[in-house]
Structure formats: structure tokens, C-alpha cells
Amino acid sequence: MTLDGITLPSGLIWSDEFGWTPVEQNISTAMTGLLIVQEAAALGGRPVTFTGTEDGCWCARETVASLYALMQTAGRVMTLVLDDTRSLQVMWSRADKSPIQTELLWPITNPSPQDLYVIKKLAFIQVSL
């Protein structure tokens, strides 16, 4: 799997792949008591959240730094290519203000570019369906 050409660790799991529907719905009741249901297809906004564990989502600090650099540009649309060759246009999901969650595999004071980090979470939103 890659994000704008950056290879992501193989142990990442798309945790909310089937937790979203592409149909938006609004239900209300008219003054007469009539039920009003409005539905329309969403044009984007699907959450794409990858989670990992210490058992398999390791990558070098230089990879984490590259991901962090991508996060520094507002409005950046990136290409996420999944292992099954699907390609998604995504942006960072900044709703929780931390779309990248990582930690050093073995905490040290001055990590080198090759020291290993665990990716705990990468959060995106799909901008078009």
C-alpha cells in the first residue's frame, strides 16, 4: 500500500471500511404528521482509517517524517493505492487533530532515520467516490 508514493507498512488494517454508507438520509415530520424522508448519494467524505499494532506496523523514522511532511499542507489531496490495487483520492482527516499516531518501537532519546516506529493510526477522508 502506498500514499503518494510512500510505502506504508503491511500490517495496517482499514478499520472502518464497511462502517459508512454512501447514502445520506434526513428524516423529519411535517406539521400534518406526515413522515418526510430525503435521501441522496454522498459525493465524498468516506472515512478511511488505518490502525496497526506493535506486532506488525513497523516503519523507519524517515517514513514517519515523510508522512508528517505530507500532513503540513492544507487541502492536499493524495493518492492512496491499496494492496488490492484500488486507488482512492484522500485527504488527512483532521477532526481529532491527530491524523497520524505513532510511537517509537523502543523509546530512545535521539532516534536515527532508521529507528523503528509503530504506526498506531492513519486517518483520512475520501474526497470523491
| CA–CA distance, 55 with 110 (Å, rounded to integer) | 23
Q: What's the grid cell of residue 43?
A: 459525493
Taking the C-alpha atoms of residue 100 and residue 57, their distance in angstroms, rounded to an integer, is 13
Place of cell 493510526: 121
Task: Check residue 28 and give its pLDDT.
Answer: 96
Domain boundaries, the chain: 2-126
Query: What would the 3-class secondary structure string for 34-49 be?
Result: CEEEEEEECCCCEEEE
Q: Cell numbers 499494532 label which residue? A: 53
Phi, psi angle pair for 40, to nearest 5°: -155, 155
**What's the pLDDT score for residue 54?**
77
Q: What is the pLDDT along the chain (129 residues), one digit of tens a residue?
A: 999 999 999 899 999 999 999 999 999 999 999 999 999 998 999 999 999 987 879 999 999 999 999 999 999 999 999 999 999 999 999 987 899 999 999 989 999 999 999 999 999 999 987
The answer to whether 48 and 80 are in contact (CB under 8 A) is: yes
* Bridge partner list, 126: 46, 90
